[in-house]
Amino acid sequence: MKKIAVVYGGSSHHHRTYKTSEFAKYINRLIPIRELETASLEGVDVLLIPSQTHLGLLEKNVEKIYAFANDGGTVVTLGPQGFDWLPSHKWEFRPTNFWWWLEKDPKSGLVLSAPEHDLFTNYLTLSDATWHQHGVYWPPEKCEVLVSTDDGGAVLYIDRVSTKGTWVNTTLDPDFHYGSYFMPATERFLRGFLPWLVEGQL
């Protein structure tokens, strides 16, 4: 069973999602982001960077996060990142359609790119990962794209090629919406995604 540490910003949505909700049981450590620079990551298998993490403090710790990955750790990033610091990827902003589901014959634009993957055979459905999008990643070749847009942009992918560790990057922001008490799909997403990080075939 892998041990998860969350880089904790202390915002209301971080507080609810990672500290007081049913999901807190999957988190072994909350590391305040102001203490990350000097914190020991010994015993941590997965370092999770929540959506809407303080960008200035995050930028100060990029080298430490990369060192964790290059030591064989898994880094998980949720939501679009505010500056380009993820390894070897290209970020493309796209305007968010918050109300696509109210349109006639609504289509989310999302595609399950790897339906045979453990995450989707045992933990999640595409519906659980569907609310809205803020943009896409164009990751390096040989990355494993699990959810994409219908034109091939990555919404959720695994990168085992850019460092000696593993990166799980998604433009989805389930912790923000769940922590803000709206968007039911995000609760379902977290109910599958966090157990997968702990016990799945990552």
pLDDT average, residue stretch 144-166: 96
Across-strand partners of 6? 30, 48
Q: Which carries the bigger pLDDT value, residue 20 or residue 202?
A: 20
Q: Which residues contact 162 (CB under 8 A, 6 or more apart)?
A: 87, 88, 140
pLDDT over 90 percentage in the chain: 81
* Cα distance between residue 71 and residue 69, in whole Å: 5
Identity of the amino acid at 104: K
pLDDT at 102 over 80: no
| Segment holding 15, helix H or strand E | helix 12-15
Domains of the chain (ranges, CATH numbers): 4-199 (3.40.50)
Q: Which residues contact 40 (CB under 8 A, 6 or more apart)?
A: none
Residue 156's pLDDT band (cuts 50, 70, 90): very high
pLDDT at 37 over 90: yes
Residue with tokens 């710790």: 61
Residue with tokens 């977290």: 190
pLDDT at 90: 86
Please tell me what DSSP assigns to residue 139: P
114-129 pLDDT, tens digit each: 999 999 999 999 999 9
In contact, 145 and 169? CB cutoff 8 Å: no
pLDDT at 36 over 60: yes
Chain centroid to CA 59: 17
Residue 89's pLDDT band (cuts 50, 70, 90): confident
User: Beta strands 166-170 and 74-77: pairing type?
Assistant: parallel
